[in-house]
Copies of this chain bind each other. A is one copy, B any other.
Amino acid sequence: MNAHIESVELEKAYRLINHGPTTLVSSRHDGIDNVMSASWVCGLEFKPAKLTVVLDKSTFTRKLIEQSHKFVIHVPTVSQAQMVHYLGTHSRAEQSDKLATAGVDFFQLPESHLPLVAGCAAWLYCELIPIEQNQIDHDLFIGEIKGAWADSRVFKEGRWLFEDAPDEMRSLHYIAGKRFYKTGSLLDVE
């Protein structure tokens, strides 16, 4: 585990995803874990903190979430881009050793309920608010954020600090194919 991990106030947890990073979604049910990549993750509510995530019916992770009603949204970094791409293009349904092959290393915090993928910049533990019509008609899932943590080298006192960190600790923004943008430089308005 990383000694830099600090918990994030739930009312500020939306800031971990507000800039639109590519994420990883994980879940566990009946002792089986999976992790997939997802670009379509979005803030929904400040208090209680909520988010949305779009999970295609073909995904193994969706089935775990439908059973366990629990998931973690991760904000991975530039140094994990290869792993993020792998996790988004391979399904555990066809490849039972997907996580090991991708190089996923899990750790757990006392209050995290689920295992967290090591090396990310932030983690949001969510509990599903089941709305069957959205899930069936639109693959749209709503989660309440019940716990949030970040690597304090890049997120501290409620804000990202990518500008002060090494390039490989920045977050990712997926485009298509094998291509991402890194989170860029700061811009302050008056």
Residues on A facing B (Cβ under 8 Å) = 15, 18-22, 39-45, 50, 52, 54, 78, 81-82, 85, 131, 133-134, 138-140, 142, 158-160, 162, 170, 172-176, 178-190
Contacts and interface: CB of A to CB of B under 8 A. Distances in A.
A18 B189 contact: no
Considering the complex of A and B, which 9 residue pairs feature the smallest CB-CB distances, nearest first? A20-B20, A184-B184, A42-B42, A19-B173, A182-B184, A180-B187, A85-B189, A178-B189, A40-B43
A10 B60 CA distance: 28
A49 to B, nearest CB: 13
B140 A44 contact: yes
Given A179-B186, A187-B181, A42 B18 contact: no
Most buried by B among A134, A172, A173, A188: A173
Contact of A54 (B43, B82, B173): B43
Copies in the complex: 2
A42 B116 CA distance: 24
A1 to B, nearest CB: 26
A69 to B, nearest CB: 17
A175 B160 contact: yes
Contact of A78 (B19, B78, B187): B187
Given A44-B40, A54-B44, A180 B175 contact: no
A42 B40 contact: yes
Nearest to A45: B138
Most buried by B among A18, A21, A184, A186: A184
